Amino acid sequence: MNDFLGYQERDSFIHKMNGTSKLIVFILLTVAGILSFDMRFLVGLTVFAGLVLYLSKISWQSIRILVYLTVLFAVLNLLLIYVFAPQYGVELYHSKTVLLGSGYYALTSQQIFYELLVLLKYCFSVPLSLAFLLTTQPSQLAAGLNKVGVSYKVAYAFSLTLRYLPTIQSEFQTTRKVQEARGFALGKKASLGKKLVASTRLLLALAFSTLEKVETISEAMALRRFGKKKKRTWYYAQSWHLADWVGLLLGIALLILAIVLVSVDDGRFWNPFA
């Protein structure tokens, strides 16, 4: 079974990039995407993020659940935006083109355009985040975080969290099979009451197992005097190569472009209705 959000070893140039450079590029592109509400820029950024994920050679099976959940959340978010602020797009673009209905909940071109912008935010951020997380070895990521000024204790905690995600998935599957062997089925044929009981037992067993492992790791780190000194060296620290510098320059260029567009558009929102 594929690891959920676990590091995937692949032969791609993105995997070979320095963990620090990938972290910096990821931050630059994320800031650029958050800053701009220019449809043209966000479409380009989305295509770029999708291309990066494709070149990373990440398997679809390992990310499909997260993608499905993201789509569900995005659709729900868009519906709630329309329910609670159906005229927000009209306020942003200072014009109103009614497509359907009338009154407060009239569907307008401006509202659709704004909600498409929100959707694009998801479309660029999810592939970019997945490409970053799944192509960066946790220890390299910890070293990268420490290089950009994050405390090595925090960086190491983040690394341990990423390392433990596949373990939690494995523990979940093992515990589920044990519960089913004991007669607490989670299958489609089980009644709702049995599913609730089985799910509760499963989550409790998983929680206690996780706490036990956390205690074991904490004791092992304490025995090795982790955190006693202000600095530490990193076994997985990497040197920078051409791809790292190219990625860094590209990230800086896209951030500068986002800033320029804010100036050109007289604000963060590009108004095609003007």
DSSP letter at 100 equals E
DSSP letter at 104 equals G
pLDDT band at 147, cuts 50/70/90? confident
Determine contact, residues 29/17, Cβ cutoff 8 Å. Answer: no
Report the percent of the chain where pLDDT is more than 90. Answer: 22
As a whole number of angstroms, the longest Cα–Cα distance in the chain is: 69
Question: Can you give the pLDDT at residue 101?
Answer: 80
Side chain identity at 204, as an amino acid letter? L
The verdict on pTM exceeding 0.95 is no
Separation between Cα atoms, residue 212 and residue 171, nearest integer Å: 12
When mean pLDDT is compared across 86-90, 134-138, 150-154, the lowest value belongs to 150-154
Which one of 27-41, 53-67, 94-108, 215-229 scores highest in mean pLDDT? 27-41
Question: Can you give the pLDDT at residue 1?
Answer: 44
Separation between Cα atoms, residue 36 and residue 262, nearest integer Å: 7
DSSP state string for 98-113: EEE--GGG-EEHHHHH
Q: Provide CB contacts within 8 A for 260, sequence distance 6+.
A: none
Number of H helices, E strands in the chain: 10, 2
Separation between Cα atoms, residue 180 and residue 61, nearest integer Å: 24
Question: Can you give the pLDDT at residue 77?
Answer: 92
Question: Domain residue spans in the chain?
Answer: 13-137+237-264, 146-223
Question: Does residue 246 surpass a pLDDT of 50?
Answer: yes
pLDDT band at 180, cuts 50/70/90? low
When mean pLDDT is compared across 58-72, 157-171, 250-264, the lowest value belongs to 157-171
- Read off the pLDDT of residues 53-107 as tens digits, 9 standing for 90 and up: 998 888 888 788 888 888 999 999 999 999 998 888 888 888 888 888 888 888 8
Q: Provide CB contacts within 8 A for 162, sequence distance 6+.
A: 5, 6, 7, 133, 138, 141
Q: Nearest Cα to 29, choosing from 105, 124, 122, 157?
A: 124
Helix axes 39-55, 19-35, angle to 10 degrees: 150
